[in-house]
Amino acid sequence: MAPPRAGTHRHPRHPRWTAHPRSTHTTPGQNVPYSGGVSKLETVPKAAPRPAPRQRLLDTASRLFYMEGIRGVGVDRVMAEAEVARGSFYRHFAGKEDLVRAYLETTDQGIRSRFRQAREHIDDPAALLRGMAEGIGDDLCGEGFRGCPFINAAAEYPDTSSAVHQAVLTHRTWFHGVILDAFTELGAADPEWSAAATVALRDGAMVAGYLGNPQSARTTLLRGVETVVAAH
């Protein structure tokens, strides 16, 4: 499989998760859902019912924590922008760390759900791995990309015993597991190594896509994953 050329994709404003008919290969734009990015939330149409207070808090926190960093955003600001009273906040969350944990767990569950949906449409493990790389690559080049929310959170909460860091580890364990399953199904000689290499490529692309040239990071990710897949 030839490496996709940089600049051949039209990148959406918000990271999208797409599912495609069953196939054994991927083509540019055929993306399997994995996104480390949490972009700005879509504006809710005026006619739509207003979300409940807990959901407004989570939506607001997700946007602010991802775009501005967790430590730099206080709960007072989250409450103000979500238009939720302090008493209501503490009925739903024990404090800021509990809100951060919920933000990460909600992000994790959304990724898992969309990955399951895509898995139902793609039988071939090689296609799944290539499509996953395509999906991440598109996210890197999307407007508002600020890196991986889990890597960002771990950097701000380095204590591995904290609820926030544990939420990060839970997501990473799951992600490594689905990649490991794909390489095992593919018949890789050393699926553990292949999975670890793919996760490392993903992590590096997330950081490079934010700090450096996202198109270059995307191309490197796609070529790296293709090399690991082809080596099975």
Segment-wise mean pLDDT, segments of 10 residues, the chain, 232 residues: 36 31 39 52 60 96 96 97 97 97 96 88 93 92 93 97 98 97 97 98 96 96 97 83
Residues 29-74: tens digit of each pLDDT: 456 655 544 543 444 455 678 899 999 999 999 999 999 999 999 9
pLDDT of residue 45: 52
Class of domain 95-230: mainly alpha
pLDDT at 34: 56
pLDDT in tens, 158-170: 999 999 999 999 9
Q: What is the pLDDT of residue 12?
A: 32
Q: What is the pLDDT of residue 114?
A: 85
CA distance 126 to 231: 11
Residues 174, 177: Cα–Cα separation, whole Å: 5
Question: In this predicted structure, what is the pLDDT of residue 95?
Answer: 97
Which pLDDT score is estimated for 16?
35
pLDDT at 198: 98
70 neighbors 100 (Cβ within 8 angstroms): yes
What is the model's pTM? 0.80
